[in-house]
Structure 1
Amino acid sequence: MIFLVWFKAGPLFEDSDKLRNAYNEKLVSPLEAVSIIKSGDNIIVPPGAAEPEVLMDALADRKNDLKDVRIHQMLPLREATYLKPGMERQFRHVSWLTSSVVKRGVKEGRAGVMPGYLYEYPKFIQELDVDVFMGMVSPMDEHGYFSFGVSVDYTIAAAGCAKKVILVVNPNMPRTMGYSYIHISQADMLVEDNTPLLEIQKPVTTKTDLTIGDYVCELVDDGSTIQLGLGFIANAAAQCLGVKKGLGVHSHFITDTIVDLVECGAITNRRKNIHAGKIICSSAVGTKRLYRFMHNNPLFEMHAVSYTNNPMNIAKNEKMVAINSVDEIDLLGQCASEPIGPKLYSGTGEQVDFARGAMNSSEGKSIVVLHSTHKGRSKIVPMLESGSVVSLSRNDVDYVVTEYGIAKLRGKTYRQRAEALTAIAHPDHRDGLTEAAKKFGLTR
């Protein structure tokens, strides 16, 4: 949905007075705002740092009045009261991309997961009977518009189809450019709050990450357009891209790593064949440094996830490079980035969207990165554990990078894949992988 700003001739002060009066008429307390929520309602809240904490806490305070309220959200960053054990009769969390704070709830049956490709989620929302949307926005401008700031994602779609819209106005929310605006006329209630946005600190970069980063750097040409997943390994490795020139960005999530690459001059976006000069993204998760950097910064152009993550749009970028972390990969090239084994607690995220988009881009590449081992266990395995969810199919994997090198899988036979993956496994596990490949008939 696109919101157009219409400029009207006449005194600005008269319009400002009308807007301020409308603002004050809709201003309520957090408890008053959530009083409209009834048992059985479907509520949608933005992901990550844009969670309206003050409303979620006020809603939890009404636990004795409610039951079976379904709260749909992607990537919650804190364990809100409603997520804690003992609240499952009152509130049901429905996750679209699960974070560590809700994995326990999913495993224990107190929360659910809705799988899907991220670019489809706005469509899912439009098919859902949304009773209430609760979101956080930046302060209103002189035209009556608020910005959804660090989270456009599915937020625009949810606000557009919800029966009631409650907005938390927070001066800590950056005002971002692009398709991130909502007019005061679309809000039913407003709540003011100045709680700092939730943060995720930058990953601590290890020697292993830097080695992986050096290999990734070999694969990324100057002038490429990059996407970074949220995985710590991908972001740590990407810091090595500071030596590159003329990089662009088309991504779902933006992190502090992108700020680093802009400030060192690696990211300029000038060589992009579409959206030249712009970082195209849908959501930001990081620290205050990132949020301040995005505020009123025309370098960023926010879009709904239905645009940023649509593989056909991604593929329009020449030299598109997708960089994502995976947890495990088998000798066929199947990747697991969700649970390992029959423990369903997460969704796929943006990996498939960008892998397919990048591989259909002119001179595009999809790169998955992982450490060769975890606690002594090889992360390159003969086959995925029974019950594991395949996040990236063998047909969606292009390059695989560990600290021991690069394996090119796309266009390779099973035998070639098994040999290439064994070569970048930890030396202690290569003999076992070779024997397993022979046993399964992948090699001689």
Structure 2
Amino acid sequence: MSVMGKVVPHVSSRNFSRISAALCSAKANRTYFTYTQELSQPLDRKPEFVTAKEAFEKCLKSGQTVYSQGAAATPVPLLNAMTEVGKAGSMKDIKVVHMHTEKDAAYVAPEYKDIFRSVSLFMAANVRKSVAEGRSDAIPIFLQDIPKLFHRKIIQPDIAVIQVSPPDQHGYCSLGTSVDCVRSALVNSKTIIAQVNVNMPRTFGDAIIHMSHIDYAVSDNTPLPEHGGKGASPEEIKIGQLIGENLVEDGATLQMGIGSIPDAVLSCLKNHKDLGIHSEMFSVGVIDLVRRGCVTNNKKKNHKGRIVGSFLVGNKELYDFVDNNPFIEMLEIDYVNNTHIVSLQPTMTAINSCIEVDLTGQVCADSIGTRMYSGFGGQVDFIRGAAEAVDGRGKPVIALVSTTRQGESKIVPTLKVGAGVVTTRAHVHYVVTEQGIAYLFGKTLRQRAYELIKIAHPDHREALEKAAFERLKCMPAP
């Protein structure tokens, strides 16, 4: 049968009645996932409202796997309660699986190393130290592939911990700012604990979840974490101008992450027309372009007239903008980041940043040498999707300031020892620094070195040219 447009296993009327009866029994017999994965289907059951501590006292056990929602929707009060209960119960070997999470992650503190082990699908600053010290793990994976981990039972959560908006008159809550891989984790979890927060914006698309799917609900109106407000540097402003004036066309569909460079690009698009947004995330800089009529999404073939995203981190202005706004569709990450779906967007322009680029075009974006810094994220999903654009007008862009804060070149002869290649030299098309734009597609190694040295900081060009000769045994040439 089909539920909300998705195919689910057929169930006979007799079996459906049997399962329906089971739904009314104790939570231990929670078997409705055997006939539907649709969190939007109302069930004949209600969540039990408890405190955060009580919720975990009822279900947390040693050896379990806990999934946590992330980004602005990180349920920090619930995770803190989980940490307290795990410690009080002298529990052991509990895995906490998550993407980027906000605020302090108490469960990764050294004193809890035998109780909890964090498993990052995309790392944030709050777990970098514990990963570096061997107390936490990281899984290298494309964002579009994360839901497969749950659907293929590679990761099987016993408990899913989420944050939702209060239910509406029909009993529907919203996952709000973070849909990404949450649904795939929820439909494969045995128990769902939800923080119900009036500050969580109500978003649409794949964000809705009926409250009857929640086992334990905790009322907590802690404000969502906020990011932004830091002004762009002169170098970042120049990068924004170069991209906005040379690489973003009218009618383009944009993907960009959070940070000063994406915001700088957006600030330079005020005279553009009919832009669209199809991005795993977007920032507050989009709001002004919507109000000016620059972002209309009218050139899209799919989701025409709608901004498509999957998760958000921003400030209250952004959260208020997306709240109850049908102009925004928050969809699952395996759809939003699917390379084929990306390739269908008109004039798909993907703008991503990185840590360093070597003279052949290899891009490191997830580590500093051997030290893990973040993750693959959606960079390759969108860089390749834009390169494969069916209209032939896609633009895959890597943007970075040419030097570090210490004045070291980010365009380097070779990547640091142990550095990971996220985007390969074959994937790369455009590389942009404040010094200019390098186009690498179809170029030989010495041509690539020539183009990249031109956009390196002037202080480093001579050394890079010498290093290129030593590596390639010939001079870089156009």
Give the TM bin, normalised by the shorter chain: over 0.9
Shift of 1:443: 3.6
Q: Are 1:30 and 2:32 an aligned pair? A: no
After the TM superposition, which of the residue ranges 251-260 and 129-138 deviates more from structure 2? 251-260
Q: Give CA-to-partner distance per residue, 1:279-335, whole Å, 9 cap, x none.
A: 111001100110111011011011110000110110010200000111100010001
Q: Give CA-to-partner distance per residue, 1:258-287, whole Å, 9 cap, x none.
A: 223222332111122221100111001100
Shift of 1:64: 3.0
Cα gap change, 1:94/1:232 in structure 2, threshold over 3 Å: closer, same or farther? farther
2:176 maps to 149
**Structure 1 vs Structure 2 CA RMSD:** 1.8
Q: Give CA-to-partner distance per residue, 1:320-359, whole Å, 9 cap, x none.
A: 0000111100010001111121223432111010000111
Q: Distance in 1 between matches of 2:236 and 2:378?
A: 21
Q: How does 1:349-368 map to 2 (within 5 A)?
A: 349-361=377-389, 362=391, 363-368=393-398
Secondary structure at the aligned position of 1:396 is classed as: coil
Q: Distance in 1 between matches of 2:196 and 2:368?
A: 40
Is contact 1:231-1:325 (8 Å) kept? Answer: no
Is contact 2:239-2:264 (8 Å) kept? Answer: no
Q: State the identity as a percent.
A: 41
Shift of 1:83: 2.3
2:84 maps to 61
Q: Are 1:121 and 2:146 an aligned pair? A: yes
Of the three residues 78, 87, 92, the one matched with 2:117 is 92
Is contact 1:248-1:279 (8 Å) kept? Answer: yes
Secondary structure at the aligned position of 1:243 is classed as: coil
Secondary structure at the aligned position of 2:111 is classed as: coil
Q: How does 1:30-429 map to 2 (within 5 A)?
A: 30-35=52-57, 36-62=59-85, 63-65=87-89, 66-126=91-151, 127=153, 128-217=155-244, 218-361=246-389, 362=391, 363-374=393-404, 375-429=406-460
1:9 maps to none
Q: Distance in 2 between matches of 1:265 and 1:155?
A: 32
Is contact 2:162-2:195 (8 Å) kept? Answer: yes
Q: Distance in 1 between matches of 2:109 and 2:260?
A: 26
Is contact 2:251-2:346 (8 Å) kept? Answer: no
Q: Distance in 2 between matches of 1:107 and 1:194?
A: 33
Secondary structure at the aligned position of 2:269 is classed as: helix
Is contact 1:75-1:99 (8 Å) kept? Answer: yes
Q: Give CA-to-partner distance per residue, 1:378-430, whole Å, 9 cap, x none.
A: 11011111111011100111100001100001111111111000001111111
Give the aligned residue type for 1:373: T
Give the aligned residue type for 1:440: R
Q: Distance in 1 between matches of 2:451 and 2:302?
A: 35
Q: Distance in 2 between matches of 1:203 and 1:408?
A: 30
Secondary structure at the aligned position of 1:49 is classed as: coil
Secondary structure at the aligned position of 1:378 is classed as: coil
Shift of 1:210: 1.1
Is contact 1:215-1:405 (8 Å) kept? Answer: yes
Report the TM-score when normalising by structure 1: 0.93
Is contact 1:169-1:190 (8 Å) kept? Answer: yes
Secondary structure at the aligned position of 1:367 is classed as: strand
Is contact 2:299-2:346 (8 Å) kept? Answer: no
Shift of 1:231: 4.2
Secondary structure at the aligned position of 1:253 is classed as: coil
Shift of 1:205: 1.1
Structure 2's unaligned 5+ residue stretches are 6-41
Q: Distance in 2 between matches of 1:442 and 1:353?
A: 34
Give the aligned residue type for 2:420: V
Deviant stretches of 4+, over 6 Å: none
Report the TM-score when normalising by structure 2: 0.87
Cα gap change, 1:355/1:101 in structure 2, threshold over 3 Å: closer, same or farther? same
Secondary structure at the aligned position of 1:190 is classed as: strand
Structure 1's unaligned 5+ residue stretches are 6-18
Cα gap change, 1:325/1:373 in structure 2, threshold over 3 Å: closer, same or farther? same
Q: Distance in 2 between matches of 1:273 and 1:301?
A: 15
Is contact 1:33-1:189 (8 Å) kept? Answer: yes
Is contact 2:241-2:264 (8 Å) kept? Answer: no
Q: Give CA-to-partner distance per residue, 1:87-113, whole Å, 9 cap, x none.
A: 111111111111112111111111110
Give the aligned residue type for 1:234: P
Shift of 1:442: 6.0
2:12 maps to none
1:434 maps to 465
Give the aligned residue type for 1:26: E
Shift of 1:200: 1.2
1:10 maps to none
